[in-house]
Amino acid sequence: MVEQSIVEQVTMKEKVVAFTFDDGPHPVYTPQVLDIFRRAGGHATFFMIGKEMEAHPDIAAEVHREGHEIANHTYTHPNLTELTLDEAGEELRQAEQLVQKVTGKSARSFRPPYFGVNDDILALAAERGYRTIGAVNGAARDWDNPGTRHIVEHSRSAVKPGSVLIFHDGYGDRSQTVEAVRVLVEELTADGYRLVTVSELLDM
């Protein structure tokens, strides 16, 4: 059977967590995120928009070079449930081509923009070989810039071993997100968590 569920958490005892970043790459904030993970000795997954990869290919390449995972977040960031299935498929295809151009391999994971998903989109993603990825900390709402403290508290309270966390490194001022991620990475690594990619998490 083809897996068509949305993955937010993988049940396990080992202290691992997968930080994910949507909507990049961004020339200001993506390098700041990379610096945090470089210092922590961890890795993350970047759900990149195809058009942003075209605009900032050097940053996308740096993400890959530093050992992070690049995954599919569509080409133009539409709500896929508002498109025809053919149009949705084309969004995935164009983004996939760019991921392969940067990494030399296929993306394993996909996150629908706005979490806009239905059974047809889940089936389409599964047919393309993707696992559809959600997150446990949607209440953090980092995309709304609710304040660093809000992002930290609503992410911290959601974390347990095997969690996927969502943040944004693209579109608009992401300085609150970067600071929140800095705090969370310090806290979680001090608590014994390893920072892994989504693929690493799925393979455990």
Provide the phi-psi class of 174: left if phi over 0, else alpha when psi is between -120 and 50, else beta: alpha
- Both tokens assigned to 15: 């202290």
Please report the DSSP string for 35-65 in residue order: HHHHHHT---EEEE-HHHHHH-HHHHHHHHH
**Which position among 22, 23, 142, 169 bears the catalytic label?**
22
Query: At a CB cut-off of 8 Å and minimum separation 6, what does 39 contact?
Result: none
Residue 153 φ then ψ, to 5°? -65, -40
64 labelled catalytic: no
Q: How far apart are the first and last CA of the chain?
A: 20
22 catalytic, yes or no? Answer: yes
The one-letter amino acid code at 149 reads R
Q: Are 129 and 106 in contact (CB under 8 A)?
A: yes
Residue among 103, 157, 160, 109 at smallest CA distance from 133: 109
Catalytic residue among 26, 56, 68, 168: 168
Q: What is the dihedral of CA 101, 106, 108, 109, to 10 degrees?
A: 40
Positions annotated as catalytic residues are 22, 168
